[in-house]
Amino acid sequence: MKLRLIAAAILFHGNDVLMMKRSERRTLNPGLWAVVGGHMEGHELSDPRLTCLREIEEETGLSADRIEELQLRYVLLRNNHGELRQQFIYTGRVTTREVHQTDEGELHWIPVADMLERPMPYTFRATLEHLVQHRETPYVWLGSIVRSVESNLPHVVWTPLTDPLT
């Protein structure tokens, strides 16, 4: 089984969230809405936060000094046709709305109340829906994306990732 490691960021400014409408030329999820992020490089394997910061800067122009309270909130696991995908999703606040556009897609500040109205990959939708309901909880959440036996549709089983020995 192949392994794909990804880190992404849900970035807020006030009551808005930064989202990217992916370019139609992208291989993965063309034309859909997502948060910023991407694949981990070899030297980042033990620190997904480095990937997150690099991807934020590459896709938005926002440097680390413009990001506050960047914290890991979600770890998602998915078997995608024999490829194990592990995503590390961070949340943070930015001190400016000024972002640079790249060829990966168009960046937009979207009101949090409207963010789920856009077409997006299932993984991001499930994560954003969960975040809306649990934004104030202090946990890192582990999400396992599975197919429901009853409905035959995908869903996420969420578990707070805590230290069982404390």
* Fold classification of 2-161 (topology level): Nucleoside Triphosphate Pyrophosphohydrolase (3.90.79)
What pLDDT was estimated at residue 56?
96
The domains of the chain are located at: 2-161
Of the candidates 55, 33, 34, the one whose C-alpha atom is nearest the C-alpha of residue 44 is 55
Q: Write the pLDDT tens digit of every residue in 39-84.
A: 999 899 999 999 999 999 999 999 999 999 999 999 999 998 889 9
- Residues 75/42, Cβ–Cβ less than 8 Å: no
